[in-house]
Every structure is written in C-alpha cells, then in structure tokens.
Amino acid sequence: MSDLQSQFETAQANSRLLTERPDNMTLLKIYALYKQATVGDNTEKQPSFTDMVGRAKWDAWNAQKGLSTDAAMQAYIDLIESLRDNG
C-alpha cells in the first residue's frame, strides 16, 4: 500500500473524530474529494432540481472533474488535517 493511500485511510478515520461538525460547504468539499479520490470523474446522471441535497453533492463532485486520484487524495488529507488543527 502506498504512503499516500495509508495517509488517505487515516484521514478517513480522522474525519469521524472531528470535534466540531464542519459547515455544509466544507462537508460538500469533503464528499467531493472523497468521491474523486475513490471513484474518479463524476459520470452519474445529474439529479433533478427537486433533489436539493443530491444535486448539491453531484455539483460538488462534478466540480472536481479532471483532478487526479493522487491529487484528490492529497487535497482530502490536507482538508481533514486543517479541520483537526482548527478543532
């Protein structure tokens, strides 16, 4: 297992240990980076405008299109670490 992969898995575990719940925009960023790192570019069908939560998550993930797996993992790690440092 690569060092980046193990750091990513540690960040996933640490995300559940945050002392404060991040705001919605930060939660969307966490979700989007996780999906980009684990699945890659968004190829899902865009949810309808009546599914506001699904649409927000889809839009956040879609905004990461083109970001490499490694770059998404590193951004996720950095974001979780910044939240832990501020918590």
Q: What is the pTM of this model?
A: 0.93
Burial of 71 (0-12, 13-18, 19+ CB in 10 A): middle
- For residues 77 and 63, give the distance between their C-alpha atoms in angstroms, rounded to a whole number: 18
Domain ranges of the chain: 3-86
* Cα–Cα distance measured from residue 71 to residue 60, given in angstroms and rounded to the nearest whole number: 16
The model's pLDDT over 18-51, given as tens digits with 9 standing for 90+, comes to: 999 999 999 999 999 999 999 999 999 999 999 9
Class of domain 3-86: mainly alpha
Q: What is the pLDDT of residue 76?
A: 98
CA 81 to chain CA centroid, nearest Å: 13
pLDDT over 80 at 86, yes or no: no
Task: Read off the pLDDT of residues 45-82 as tens digits, 9 standing for 90 and up.
Answer: 999 999 999 999 999 999 999 999 999 999 999 999 99
Q: Which one-letter DSSP state was computed for residue 84?
A: H
